Structure 1
Amino acid sequence: MKKLISILALMFALLMVLPMTAGAFNSYQTYTNAIGGEPLYSPDAYIPINTYNSSYMGLPKSLSDPYDIFVDGEMNVYIADIGTNSIIVLDRYYKHKFTLSEFTNEIGAPDSFASPRGIFVTDDKKDVQGNVVEEGKIYICDTQNYRLVVFSRSGEFLYVLDAPESELFAEDSIYYPIAVAVDKYGRIFVVSSQTTQGIIVLTADGTFTGFIGAPTVSISLWDIVWRRFQTEAQKKKSSDFVPVTFNNITVDSDGFVYATSDKIEAGKIESAIRSKSIAGADSPVKKLNAAGDEIMNRNGFFPPVGEINYAPMSLRTGEKIGVSAIGDVALGEAMTWSITDTKRSKIYTYDAQGNLLFAFGDKGSLQLGNIGTLKAIAYQGDKLLALDSGSAKSITVYERTEYGNILINAVSDQLNRKYDSAQANWTEILKRNSNFDAAYIGIGQALYRDGKYEAAMEHFEAAYDTANWSLAYSELRKNNIEKIFFLIPIVIIALCVVFSMLLKKINRINIRAATSGEKITFGKEILFGFHIIGHPFDGFWDLKKEKRGSVRAALVFLAITVLTFFYQAIGQGYLFNPTGTYSTILAQLVSVCVPLLLFVIANWCLTTLFEGEGSFKDIFVATCYSLVPLPLLIIPSTIASNMVNINEQDLVSLFVTIAFIWAGFLIFFGTMVTHDYSLGKNVIMIVCSIVGMAFIMFVALLFTTLLGKIVGFVTNIITELAYRM
């Protein structure tokens, strides 16, 4: 009996503990993004271990409106609190050390902060023996006093850097510092929320030297033209084309500046996501060198803009969300960096190439790990600190997991060219997360260096990495060509001879058919297509007057064209179709036949009214014969697409473009000869035919919609009658 009671007590204890554990570790889902943008769930790279509030910290005044957080080289934590106009300094265990709020300034007068926002702390400078030669400094953005205040790391006031003066500042510019960073050379970078020229650069003594990273303003041609016709009153009412401002900043050990902005237009960010843009002009996070040039790598599936699967509105709360609003940036190990999304309280971490390593977090306050209002983040070694300025007013500490450690080690080994170690770590990553593309790339690069090109290509294909795949393929192709090099010129010469003989044979048959007066057979009707593509004026004239072609031959060319596009869809090389998407024969049939029939119908309807001599049959036959260049060039191009690297890709695309242009010219001249139009009149008729195609589609869509409503109405009546009976 006692044993039974013990077992029941143990089960009850487990039931009480398990929900708490699940709640702690399942408060959010860690994920990356697939090439199509879908989230790919992954193991947690960071898990929350605790939340620390004012009571735990032992603060004399509770946090009121925390704005920024910073961690120095000795793992001390600094918090800027707007509500109490103070800077709180904590030790590595998040216990209170001292508070900076009131101080005696340079002239011996009592002074204090007014809404301090940004913080940056420099490390002690040491000599080769490790002795401190210069103590680190605490730089504070005293925002509403329009200045920077500098303290020693021990909390002693040093000096004030007042607002810089220069003719480069706009007349209405207000120095309103909200973020600051200092590089290893002592240069000070300041973000002023009311300064639109870029990031302010100061020397160590506060002398203004210029701006870097000035945001560009893109003005459409329509806006330029429209403003020329506006009155002065209208210009005043219209929005000015003012560059966006930055909202946060940090600097790495090499002096590169990372700056964020939450003022980028949502439409521009959405466009960058859709186009997978690698440009930095409208990016919410930039990496700048000393000259202010944007040098961030954006080689991931999508630009580093935070959330890719954005929704206009939250299904849970009904709140308008949209694209991410980037609030802060923090630098981690191995050149990784993280940004925050203040709308979703999420953290996104990228590597030096701009690949998303992981994203995690969620809005909320009931579960450990969720943040009510994510204001700022900072790395503390292998921990990540998140500042919650919502109702909790606390710091949430996330600890890196085993998976996260392996991932960072792999990235670090890759950067330090420890390829064998990196490959081992990437292999461990794939054991835990088979969806992680960076692991496939890392292993592929290791295999490439070992000369295992085919295996490397397989790994690059798994990660849709066309650039590295092309490098491996080029080496593999070079090795194969070396084995059969002597055969290549023989094959090329043989193909040229056969092709030349074939063209001569076809030409002789076409000449004999035109001069002999014999009956035109089906084979000769097919071969006549080769005459038309080189002699469109004579060819289309003979097609109409001499009946050198037929509907059955036209249908053959149409069928060959459909099969050509189907072959192109399924037979293209990896570089042209990295995702392996394919199309059905039915889809190709519709995509070719529907536009062709729409053009034929629209052209026949219009030319019947405007003295066109061609019948519906003549237009259809001429249009189908005009398609001959498409299979002639697209089929060889599709074959060649399996043999080229990324540098030769445009050459294949060029031949496909030539095929479409060639077919377009044949359709144009074919309709002109068929209807006996002048050049100018034919241009007008072609344009009108395209408009007519759109009109026919509109009428068809309208008819289909009305028909659907009628069917639905009749169905509802029948259903109602059935119920009543």
Structure 2
Amino acid sequence: MKKRLFKLAIIFTFIFALLPTTVHADVPYKTFTVDGERNFIETQTAYVPDSRLVQFGDELLKQPSDFKVHEGHLYIADTGNKRILITTLKGDVVNIMGEDILEKPVGLDVANGYVYVADETLGQVVQFDVDGNVEHVYERPTSPSFGSSSPFTPTKVTVDSRENLYVISRGNSNGLIQLNRNTNAEFLGYFAPNMTSISLLTSFRRLIFTEEQLARMLNIIPNSPVNLTIDPEGLVYTITPQDNFESLKKLNMGGNNILDATISDRQMTGVAVGPYENIFTISSNGYIYEYNREGNLLFIFGGRDSGQQRLGLFTQAVAIDVDQQNSIYVLDQTKGEIQVFKSTEFADQVHEALVLYQDGNYEESKHIWDGVLKVNSLFDFANLGMGEAHFKDENYAEALESYRLAHNVSGYSDAYWELRNVWIRENILPMMGWLLGLWIFVKVFKFVNGKWPITAYNNFKSKIKNNKLYQELTYATYFMKHPIDGSYGIKREGKTSNLSVAIVGALALIVYAFSKYFTGFIFSNVRSGEFTVVNDIFIGFVIYVFVVSATYLVSTINDGESTYKNLMHGFVYALTPYILFQPIVTLISNFLTLNEAFVIQFSSVVILTWVLVLLFIAIKELNNYEGRETIKIILISLFTMFIGALIIFVLYILFNQLFSFIQAVFREAVYRFEIR
């Protein structure tokens, strides 16, 4: 018995040793990535907290503001102690510089054998040599181009290989200040200023306020960056948390942002570039973001410490840096410590494949991406890498599937283009033969029916045409082509009925649902797995009733002749172009690529314009208005709909709060009853 148990133990130990170790139970946070539709999804742990540096020899940090990892050493701006602390990566003190010189060092950089320190109180950037001696002091530029009223209060600094300094100055919104001691007056100019963002409220104020009123308002100035860094190629990276669309920027030599729109955080405080050209940012609430060099988000992890002092969480993270082994270092200002994170096997796989992928070695990266997908089949960047590899191998069918899984529309379009070309070459002759055969069949049938009438067919056709409901339904096509006469038929001749309107309206809702969920992948705006047909139909019906009711109320007050029934019929029949042609556009969208996107766009514009013209004519003719009066009625109706929607929203909020209050009172009553 003991021998059997011993053998089982050995077998289970061997099995567990072979299992991938991607789950880390001691990690106090979850790791997320984003899919191609920019949804956050949980993924395997990418980095694990390894250690924390609190005491450096006998030294403690006091309100540190910045640090850098350089050649196996930590350079820390120990702001509260007015010094720069230099230690090993293990925390052993190597040197202390700046004592009795610095007042408030809040930013630093290490480059070209020097340490550059931004001192906010001194209003200087102090350049030290490796021994801690002051090499040079950069003060407020005297150049006229700097600006007589522009402040020079350095908070962050970075330096390129040509000894050009890029300085962030508190209160100076003109851009990064460029300095170089080897040029006259040291000031080179302002670099990459942020653009001013103007809200809708500000635009509205500019329309209605006088110049005097606008002058009393606060000046609209662009947001200033809060941190920056530079990579070996001399590209500058900045963080501007207040900028919703370009919080993270990667600036080329011309000062232009070359990153695509990135997912960012309005509390970002630090930025760093890793050995794989990946970009790392940290937010004050402790979340670490890793992007590839194009700005695509790879991982998010970390979080805020709730007071439990857990390794891997932060109270107030202010700076981040990465060493050559891709270990992440994060400075917590409140705790006065630096935490270190190590990458996992999963992250190493992603990085290895990413380097090959970014260098265009798609084939070499394929087997690595395949390993990543075996661990996490929903990791979209791996699917994208597989798609590129399959496409390069001219395996377009598999590339198409990989691009779809990665939600990559551009790659999917290219792969489908190739597949479609192959299909057309192989099937063009049979397809033309079928079409020719169908055309011949129709012509022969018409000839035979004309020469020797097919009684059963003709009687059935005549019976259908004489059916009143059929005539009411086909009247929609007449209304579409002759809206003025069609409106008269609705108003005076009873060409439509409630039943026909219900059928046409139902068809419009069905076409809407069909168009939403069956548009081709390239042109679809529906998220994968989303299927809310009942909700869509209900919302469409409510909007229809809301629009008709608002228009009827406004037209009644303004001497309109239309009844509610007439407007209801006219509005439904005005949707005929959409009902007839949108299904065709939807079907065609499944066979087009991005190169033919104009076909879909143009068709949609034509259909929408046609429907709007029919609606305009229906309102005009059914109410017997002139053109100018019709425009006025439409504008008032739109305003009425806005007010109505606002009232409904307010009532919803009030009833929701009332329900929550009643629920809270009920729970309190139950609780008090139970504790008796």
How does the TM-score come out when normalised to structure 1? 0.76
Count of residue pairs the alignment pairs up:
614
| In structure 1, distance between residues paired with 2:47 and 2:650 | 54
| Equivalent residue in structure 2 for 1:673, among 597, 621, 628 | 621
Q: What RMSD, in angstroms, separates the aligned Cα atoms of the two structures?
A: 3.6
2:285 is aligned with 1:326: no
Shift in Å, 1:538? 2.7
The secondary structure found in structure 1 opposite 2:146 is coil
CA pair 205-140 structure 1, distance change in 2 beyond 3 A: farther
Query: Quick one: which of 84, 106, 112 aligns to 1:117?
Result: 106
Q: What residue identity is the alignment partner of 2:50?
A: I
- Aligned-residue sequence identity (percent) comes to 24
Match runs of 1:526-565 below 5 Å? 526-565=473-512
Describe the superposition over 1:399-422 as per-residue Cα deviations: whole angstroms up to 9, x where unpaired. 222122112111111122222332
Deviations 1:80-112 (A, max 9, x none): 11122211111343311111125xxxxxxxx71
| Post-superposition CA distance 1:468-487 (Å, at most 9, x none) | 21221122122222223446
Deviations 1:617-642 (A, max 9, x none): 43333333222111112111110111
Q: Matches of 1:426 and 1:636 in 2, distance apart?
A: 39
Shift of residue 348 of structure 1?
Answer: 0.8
Is the 2:34–2:298 contact (alpha carbons within 8 Å) kept by the matching residues of 1?
Answer: no
Q: 2:28 & 2:515 partners in 1: Cα distance? A: 47
In the other structure, the counterpart of 2:544 is 596
CA distance in 2, matches of 1:241, 1:85: 35
CA contact (8 A) 1:198 1:213 kept: yes
Does the Cα contact within 8 Å between 2:53 and 2:90 map onto a contact in 1?
no
1:83–1:457 Cα change, 3 Å? same
Per-residue deviation, 1:256: 0.4
State the 1:181 CA deviation. 1.4
Instruction: Judge conservation of contact 2:279–2:295 (CA < 8 Å) in 1.
Output: no
1:688 deviates by: 4.3
Residue 377 in structure 1 maps to residue 320 in structure 2: yes
- Which of 579, 599, 604 is 1:656 aligned to? 604
Determine the C-alpha separation between the residues in 2 that align with 1:704 and 1:179: 48
Residues 549 and 492 of structure 1: CA distance in aligned 2, closer, same or farther (over 3 Å): farther
1:221 to 2:163 alignment: no
In 2: Cα distance, 1:656 partner to 1:51 partner: 59
The CA distance in 1 between the partners of 2:647 and 2:194, in whole Å, is 47
CA–CA distance in structure 1, aligned partners of residues 332 and 654 of structure 2 = 55
Which residue does 2:233 correspond to in 1?
Answer: 254
**2:93 aligned to 67, 91, 96, which one?**
96
* Contact kept in structure 2, 1:24 and 1:367, CA below 8 Å: no
SS of 1:649 mapped into structure 2: helix
Aligned partners of 1:699, 1:208: CA distance in 2, in Å? 58
> Counterpart amino acid of 2:506?
A
Of 156, 161, 165, which residue of structure 2 is paired with 1:179? 156
Contact 2:490–2:570 at 8 Å: present in 1 too?
yes
Q: Is the 8 A contact 1:334 1:415 kept in 2?
A: no
Residue number in structure 1 paired with 2:8:
none
Equivalents in 1 of 2:439, 2:111: separation in Å?
A: 71
Selected match of 2:144 from 146, 156, 167 = 167
Residues 35-56 of structure 1, C-alpha deviations (whole Å, 9 max, x = no match): 66654222222212222223xx
Contact 1:193 1:246 in 2 (8 A): no
Q: Which moved more, 1:489-498 or 1:466-475?
A: 489-498
| Residues 180 and 669 (structure 1), Cα distance of their counterparts in 2 relative to 1, 3 Å cut | same
Q: How does 1:167-566 map to 2 (within 5 A)?
A: 167-205=144-182, 207-219=186-198, 220-225=202-207, 228-231=210-213, 235-236=215-216, 238-262=217-241, 264=242, 269=244, 272=245, 283-298=246-261, 303-306=262-265, 324-342=266-284, 344-364=285-305, 366-382=309-325, 383-391=327-335, 393-486=336-429, 521-566=468-513
- The alpha-carbon deviation at position 356 of structure 1 amounts to 1.5
Q: What do residues 561-589 of structure 1 show as CA deviations (whole Å, max 9, x unaligned)?
A: 12211211231111214523555554344
8 Å CA contact 1:46–1:400 kept in 2: the answer is yes
Shift of 1:205: 2.5
* Whole-angstrom CA distance in 2 between matches of 1:333 and 1:33: 22
Distance 2:331 2:644 in 1: 60
What SS does structure 2 have at the residue aligned with 1:145? coil
Q: What letter corresponds to residue 367 of structure 2 in structure 1?
A: A
Instruction: Say whether the 8 Å CA contact 2:240–2:248 is kept in structure 1.
Output: yes
Contact 2:35 2:406 in 1 (8 A): no
1:329-365 residue CA offsets vs partner (Å, 9 max, x unmatched): 01112210111101x1221111112221112222236
Distance 1:578 1:463, change over 3 A: farther
- CA distance, structure 1, for counterparts of residue 653 and residue 238 of structure 2: 51
- Residues 704 and 188 (structure 1), Cα distance of their counterparts in 2 relative to 1, 3 Å cut: closer
What are the ranges of 5 or more consecutive residues in structure 2 without an aligned counterpart?
A: 1-22, 444-464
Which residue pairs with 1:63 in the alignment? 61
SS in 2 for 1:25: coil
SS in 2 for 1:28: coil
Cα 1:606/1:43, change in 2 over 3 Å: closer
| Equivalent-residue separation in structure 1 for 2:315 and 2:359 (angstroms) | 38
Counterparts in 2 of 1:497 and 1:259: CA distance versus 1, 3 Å: farther
My pick for the range that moved more, 332-341 or 575-584, is 575-584
Residue 142 (str. 1) matches residue 101 (str. 2): no
- Stretch deviating more after TM superposition (544-553 or 623-632): 544-553
Instruction: Give the conservation status (yes or no) of the 8 Å contact 1:24–1:368.
Output: no
My pick for the range that moved more, 488-497 or 620-629, is: 488-497
Gaps of 5+ in 1: 1-21, 103-110, 124-135, 273-282, 307-323, 501-517
Return the letter of the residue paired with 2:102: F
After TM superposition, list the pairs within 5 Å mapping 1:575-614 onto structure 2: 575=522, 576-577=524-525, 579-580=527-528, 582-605=530-553, 607=555, 611-614=559-562
How far apart are 1:496 and its partner, in Å?
11
Q: Return the offset for 1:142.
A: 3.3
Change (3 A) 1:699 1:327: closer
- The answer on whether the counterparts of 1:569 and 1:583 sit within 8 Å (CA) in structure 2 is no
1:655 & 1:209 partners in 2: Cα distance?
Answer: 53
CA distance in 1, matches of 2:485, 2:383: 58
CA shift for structure 1 position 257: 0.1
Rate the CA distance shift 1:204–1:476 in 2: closer, same or farther, 3 A: farther
CA–CA distance in 2 between the matches of 1:701 and 1:290?
49
- Equivalent in the alignment of 1:84: 81
**2:180/2:187 contact within 8 Å kept:** yes
Any idea what SS the aligned residue of 1:112 has?
coil
Structure 2 counterpart of 1:340, one-letter code: I
Residues 12-23 of structure 1 aligned to structure 2 (within 5 Å)? none
Give, in angstroms, the shift of residue 385 of structure 1: 1.4
Q: 1:160 to 1:688 in 2, by over 3 A?
A: closer
Structure-2 change in CA distance of 1:290 and 1:629 (3 Å):
same
- The verdict on how the C-alpha distance between 1:525 and 1:399 changes in structure 2, with shifts beyond 3 A counting, is closer
Q: Which amino acid aligns with 1:161?
A: Y
Q: What are the superposed Cα offsets for residues 293-327 of structure 1, whole Å, 9 maximum, x if unpaired?
A: 121233xxxx2313xxxxxxxxxxxxxxxxx3111
Amino acid aligned to 1:293? N
The superposition leaves residues 1-31 of structure 1 with CA deviations (integer Å, 9 ceiling, x where unpaired) of xxxxxxxxxxxxxxxxxxxxx9983222222
TM norm structure 2: 0.82
CA distance in 2, matches of 1:695, 1:65: 52
